[in-house]
Amino acid sequence: MTPIRLLLVDDDPLVRAGLSFMLGGADDIEIVGEAADGAEVDALVDRARPDVVLMDIRMPTVDGLSATERLRRRADAPQVVVLTTFHADDQVLRALRAGAAGFVLKDTPPAEIVDAVRRVAAGDPVLSPAVTRQLMEHAAGSAPDTRRTTARSRVAALNDREREVAVAVGRGASNAEIAAELFMSVATVKTHVSRILAKLDLNNRVQIALLTYDAGLLEGEGR
């Protein structure tokens, strides 16, 4: 099996050393580079071609948010997992809106960080729907009118079935759960998700969840 190529980005050398020790011990993960600042990321990605970048948010020259935004604009963008010390933080939310696939806390148990890297490499987001909503509500309150209007306009591009799938993704349902709920095959759900991402020019399921939240489609969905 081809190992997951991982790039570590954190300005604290002790944190990088700990992550390197922890993640380098996994048989299916290869650490292909380390950076102490977001300013170093683009060149390292060009050279090392990582599948996943574990990205600290707060760094002295170029922060993780700016580095994530730059990376996700690339045609060959690696997946990004944000490292943070806060459950609810407006910078984490902005990183998710920019295309990060999720976040992990710096005090997360080692096995869970390893699992997060594996999940993101496989195309799965790394945060629960409850945490997603906590982040959105903490950082944004209720969606401002302009963002809600824009989100609803974008969602209008979806057909009825795609809209149902998007709302289910926003609730945090897995493909199998969506298939059972909407009486379709898992393969059909995957096709719908791919079409939603393409139609709305989104990177991942987290961004689908953010957009459905902004559009007000999750109101009354157990919040």
Give tens-digit pLDDT for 162-207: 999 999 998 878 888 999 999 999 999 999 999 999 999 998 888 8
For residue 101, is pLDDT > 50? yes
Bridge partners for 60 per DSSP: none
pLDDT band at 223 (very low <50, low <70, confident <90, very high): very low
Q: From CA 12, how far away is CA 85, in angstroms rounded?
A: 13
Alpha-carbon distance values, 116 to 99, 103, 108, 154, 185 (Å): 16, 9, 10, 30, 26
On the question of pLDDT at 140 being above 60, the answer is no
Q: Is the confidence at residue 143, as pLDDT, over 60?
A: no
* pLDDT tens for each residue of 113-122: 999 899 889 8
Residues 6+ apart with CB under 8 A from 8: 16, 19, 20, 23, 31, 33, 34, 35, 54
DSSP strand pairing (29-35 vs 4-9): parallel
pTM over 0.95: no
For the chain, how far is it from start to end, CA to CA, in angstroms? Answer: 41
Least confident of 87-101, 166-180, 204-218: 87-101
The pLDDT value given to residue 37:
94
Is pLDDT of 1 > 50?
A: yes
pLDDT of residue 128: 63
Mean pLDDT, rounded, of the chain: 87
